[in-house]
């Protein structure tokens, strides 16, 4: 029987959930969820100066928005400090680690001399092979006994086999002189204790893997499967930065991208499944694997994000969209919809969701149902109304009063009316859009009439011509 998959996302809470972190979380989530495994969340809050509760909250919010649910409790790395120290002490007792009493000055002097002699400046502690009886009663750190010859091979699912010469590894510190564990030790102990089978993270951590493997091996623990994914670059091929636009995952919520579109886009950022661009969560879970992850950095492409967002909006359930739009308005700091507006929006959703790439675009099209009389008109709509169109709309009014209010009959009526005025329906549509919606970009005139109903339609025509 193969071992159940356990992945984790391990952000440091020093800021919001950035795009790169969100993608790492998504890859771990997809990998676990597609294999009936577990996806765990660990907050790496050992750096007390840089970690803040606000950042933890922002990360949790970002993950909640993206729908990346994790199993079990959120784990705090800091709270495990006692356990991390215990492992360092175990290695000490097994002679796989040692107490080093070197002072900062001694280490600096060692480095200077090595530099002057053109040798490696990796610190080699004289305490590595000393006997406890020769130890002073002074502060010490615990260092691991790194292998001094041979090689360490990181078998990486994305990068292939990465070989590091062991002579490049130093006896890294596990426990500082104040008894606190170092980050590198905490990660390994936590991953082991949490039963993590697959570590999927940014390739900026590839070098750490070699050092972390020393701890796994010293403890006799199974090394997890590594998958170090290339970072994300901006459209210009340079490392993604603020200069490329928004970096926080939640800023994309505030810009009005649906979470499903964002997930689809982030999954495609560095991973592919044949030529598939648009896919559902279920497809992504079924398809996601390491073979599809590219070796070179992915480029962020807003056009593609917009395109996928639009496709997800188009296939979303109307009630779910209504809810997501409410959440978007909150995130964007916009006024919430009233119940009546929200109900109207859902009723109109079928004719709004087709070509909107973002929620602001959808809401712009929804103006006819969200606004109330008298409808404000933008400049384009204003231009569509003239004394000529006023006359036409006035003439149309009595015919609409008597029409049967169903799509086919309304279409027949307006087409015949246009013909009688020696014009195409298209010419009539402009003033009608302006009168009914106060906007030039709207759903079809028929959809608006059907949704607004006869009374409201006629009242708006009157407002526009009156």
Is the CB of 7 or the CB of 457 nearer to ligand GLU?
7
Q: Measured from the CB of residue 22, what is the shortest distance to ligand GLU in angstroms?
A: 12
Q: Which is nearer to ligand GLU, 10 or 144 (CB)?
A: 10
Q: Taking contact as CB under 6 A, which single stretch among the options 8-16, 46-54, 136-144, 269-277 is the one that binds ligand GLU?
A: 8-16
Closest to ligand GLU by CB, 74 vs 336, is 74
> Within 198-227, which residues bind ligand GLU (CB under 6 A)?
201, 205
Task: Name the residue nearer to ligand GLU (CB basis): 27 or 65.
Answer: 27
**Residue 227 or 451 with smaller CB distance to ligand GLU:** 227
Residue span binding ligand GLU (CB under 6 A) among the ranges 5-13, 147-155, 293-301, 405-413 = 5-13
Q: Using CB under 6 A, which of the segments 7-15, 241-249, 256-264, 325-333 binds ligand GLU?
A: 7-15
Which of 5, 11, 232, 445 contacts ligand GLU by CB under 6 A?
A: 11
Answer for which of 44, 171, 190, 346 binds ligand GLU (CB under 6 A) is: 44
Spatial strand order in the sheet of 75-76: 6-9, 38-43, 75-76
Stretch that binds ligand GLU, among 6-14, 67-75, 216-224, 245-253 (CB under 6 A): 6-14
Phi, psi of 40 (to 5 degrees): -110, 160
Q: Which of 5, 6, 7, 10 binds ligand GLU (CB under 6 A)?
A: 10
CB of 197 to ligand GLU, least distance (A): 14
Q: Cβ closer to ligand GLU: 47 or 112?
A: 47
The answer to whether residue 357 forms part of the interface with ligand GLU (CB under 6 A) is no
Dist. CA 259–CA 281, nearest whole Å: 11
Q: Judged by CB under 6 A, does residue 187 bind ligand GLU? A: yes
Q: According to CB under 6 A, which residues from 300 to 329 bind ligand GLU?
A: none
Of 5, 6, 7, 12, the one binding ligand GLU (CB under 6 A) is 12
- Shortest Å distance, C-beta 215 to ligand GLU: 13
Tell me the closest approach of the beta carbon of residue 187 to ligand GLU, in angstroms: 5
Q: Which residues are catalytic?
A: 242
| Residue listed under structure tokens 């097994």 | 94
Q: Among 4-12, 260-268, 366-374, 417-425, which window interacts with ligand GLU (CB under 6 A)?
A: 4-12
Cα–Cα nearest to 61, from 306, 254, 201? 254
Q: Nearer Cβ to ligand GLU, position 53 or 453? A: 53
Residue 86 Cβ vs ligand GLU, minimum distance, rounded to whole Å? 20
- Site residues (vs ligand GLU, CB under 6 A): 10-12, 44, 187, 201, 205
């Amino acid at each position: 029987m193969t071992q159940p998959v356990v992945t984790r996302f391990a952000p440091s809470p020093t800021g919001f959930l950035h795009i790169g972190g969100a993608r790492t979380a998504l890859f771990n989530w997809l990998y676990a969820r597609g294999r009936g495994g577990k996806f765990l969340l660990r907050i790496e809050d050992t750096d007390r100066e840089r970690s803040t509760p606000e950042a933890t909250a922002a990360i949790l919010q970002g993950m909640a928005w993206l729908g990346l649910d994790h199993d079990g409790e959120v784990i705090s790395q800091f709270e495990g400090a006692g356990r991390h120290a215990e492992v360092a002490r175990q290695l000490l007792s097994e002679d796989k680690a040692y107490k080093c009493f070197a002072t900062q000055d001694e280490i600096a002097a060692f480095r200077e001399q090595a530099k002057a002699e053109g040798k490696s400046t990796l610190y080699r502690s004289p305490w590595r092979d000393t006997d406890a009886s020769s130890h002073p009663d002074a502060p010490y750190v615990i260092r691991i006994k790194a292998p001094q010859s041979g090689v360490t091979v990181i078998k990486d699912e994305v990068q292939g086999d990465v070989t590091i010469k062991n002579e490049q590894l130093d006896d890294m510190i596990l426990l500082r002189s104040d008894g606190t564990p170092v980050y590198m030790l905490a990660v390994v102990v936590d991953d082991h204790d949490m039963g993590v089978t697959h570590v999927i993270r940014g390739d900026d951590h590839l070098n750490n893997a070699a050092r972390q493997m020393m701890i796994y091996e010293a403890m006799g623990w199974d090394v997890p499967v590594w998958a170090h994914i290339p970072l994300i670059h901006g459209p210009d091929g340079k490392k993604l930065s603020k200069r490329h636009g928004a970096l926080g995952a939640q800023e994309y919520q505030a810009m009005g991208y649906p979470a499903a579109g964002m997930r689809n886009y982030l999954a495609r950022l560095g991973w592919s499944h044949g030529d598939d661009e648009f896919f559902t969560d279920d497809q992504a879970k079924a398809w996601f694997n390491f073979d599809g992850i590219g070796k070179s950095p992915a480029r962020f492409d807003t056009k593609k994000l917009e395109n996928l967002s639009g496709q997800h909006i188009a296939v979303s359930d109307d009630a779910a969209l209504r809810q997501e739009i409410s959440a978007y308005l909150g995130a964007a700091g916009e006024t919430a919809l009233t119940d009546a507006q929200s109900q109207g929006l859902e009723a109109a959703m079928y004719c709004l969701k087709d070509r909107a790439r973002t929620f602001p675009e959808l809401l712009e099209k929804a103006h006819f149902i969200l606004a109330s009389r008298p409808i404000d008109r933008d400049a384009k709509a204003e231009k569509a109304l003239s004394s000529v169109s006023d006359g036409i709309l006035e003439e149309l009014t009595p015919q609409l009063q008597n029409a049967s209010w169903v799509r086919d009959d309304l279409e027949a009526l307006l087409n015949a009316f246009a013909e009688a005025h020696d014009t195409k329906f298209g010419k009539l549509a402009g003033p009608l859009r302006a009168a009914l919606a106060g906007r030039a970009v709207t759903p079809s005139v028929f959809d608006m009439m059907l949704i607004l109903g006869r009374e409201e339609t006629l009242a708006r025509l009157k407002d526009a011509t009156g």
